[in-house]
Structure 1
């Protein structure tokens, strides 16, 4: 009884705070909409209002944005393959995540935005879609969402779960509430043993948590399509050296410019493939490159670079994995700026050596594994990143050795998908 009272009190305070913050969510959508117009659309979904009539959706997967959608792809594909007629709902929070869902599955899955964590909005969402199970990807721990799922009898599983030391500290104030919310889920399938320990510290029970590995290792690569794209790319630029700066953030853009300038003093015809993390920066980084005095091509406008281009901006979504294969060496961003890093496995999977900055708290285990096999170089700052890139561009044998090591690690890491499917098997609705 006392525990129930404590939960109601904590939920009440949390929900009251979110109601007060509703005007802030409107401001946020408008502010983001100036940079990315898609944020000005489909507001009704953000607040759990749907125009269609309620109908059951047996399996619901929530993946916040592009990275999580890509990580969930092996699981979603496996569920669709097992029962092609099964109705499956995929929710995201970002428009880029929404676009990625449509690019991967089209009309094979239903997609809406997950509403804000307001009790009323979440209840309307659950009443509209009536999921038989909720599979929540990585670190989306929303208390009202989890409590409302429990109250509605919807079993939830956190899959490919990760929790960095920083995120654990960030939950400090809400830990009493978040811990109770975590104990409503059936299982927490973590990427690593470190993640498992942190989820227990946050409030999950040891019985709930299982270290099953990282679904990113189970991503399927169309090697034929990747090879064909890389061959076409190379045919347009000749025998030039190429490096890629991938998933960069605004505070890293000056460093990318400076690194490219320094590298071109040694290799004057060096080409940079530049893939900003967020679409609203596509035009901005192209302009920065023009202002630096370079000739710039873009994927959306020119499709391919030519022998005279100095920078090629990858301003499309869903193609980064293939374009890694066009580069001699890859720098993965979100790591010079204190973001926590981005997916280091993508370049490794296609045999490209990886360079990154020091801020890797979101990919500690993957960085450790890549470092262990010699497929990763970590620079403490932009100067060190430049030095690693220069060393690798000058040494074809080391590039080959690192690339083969990364590719082998990616192949050996598979298995999380099978273990995740086994973990959720008892809770999956019957076909």
Structure 2
């Protein structure tokens, strides 16, 4: 590194370590390095959010590099352009000179340009007898060439994030449509279940959803809505299975015609064997086979259908037997529980349930209240509720009484864990998840 490669700014502009580092980096590029200036500019437009520059600053940079006569930036050339502010204004669509000076300072601060000021601060070039440029004072484009690879990498990352965000939003839109239409269908068909609670959970997920959400908020909303959709689909599938007649021959008593019509004894023995646990149907052996099948099917549907409706009536989307929420979503909502895990971190449901036992004792929740919650919610969801109570411990007078109240409300189908988690995620704000 030689001192003649270092220049300081003219006038009251100060020299910084960052400007010094940019000049040293630009001086150390390979002599054979070259890159298309407009491809670098296109990559800069993509990577703009990562570099902290505005679109107006990029417009000034586009006007500036247009004064470089070649299409490729080569390390063997001086790479210095020296247009006046008036010339830059004309190529920047009439931008005011004060605005141009401000954006030039931004580009220098971002490390995309370096200044090579003359003694009086003017931009000009000295030419030799043959017309070639011997020395020029203005702005050097060498930092663009030196950082071409870095700029391309940043542009690729921004494009990948944009594509990922678009796909996440598409999945979220599809899930929202599915949930709304499935709930609407369940209400119209009169399916058993607390579908109004499912609607409330849906509204809670998108209560504070902004118009332009960040990736973290889209991911959290997608996890929650996918979980809700899965619960709705599972409940509807269970109801369809309980109301749909079985295809097994012993239950429907399908008639099996004997190839030997002269053997009635064999037919009756086979009927008794197939009926097994339903001795009442033996009384109908003299009836026509089709009549026996219709009656037995009606009895089976009546018994199985009533049992399925009773089971569905006792279970709602928010209560008994609910599948646990994703561990990452729980840890994103309840960050304090990780401090009580093994080594101060939680990487599995086993770690979370162990930490919940410790927190349960610390909060004064009785073992019987926690066991009752585990029986109603399941051990994973009970541990999740303990983690949520820990987050709001300062606002809850009796953690044990609060847990018993939630348990009794869940048994009545009046409580859903999803809105509680989403409210806690919104209260925490965007942040990194602590799932292992």
TM tier relative to shorter chain: under 0.3
Q: Which has the higher helix share?
A: 2
Bigger Rg, structure 1 or 2: 2
Per the normalisation by structure 2, the TM-score is: 0.22
Name the TM-score, length of structure 1 as normaliser.
0.22
If each structure's strand is expressed as a fraction of its own residues, which one has the higher value? 1
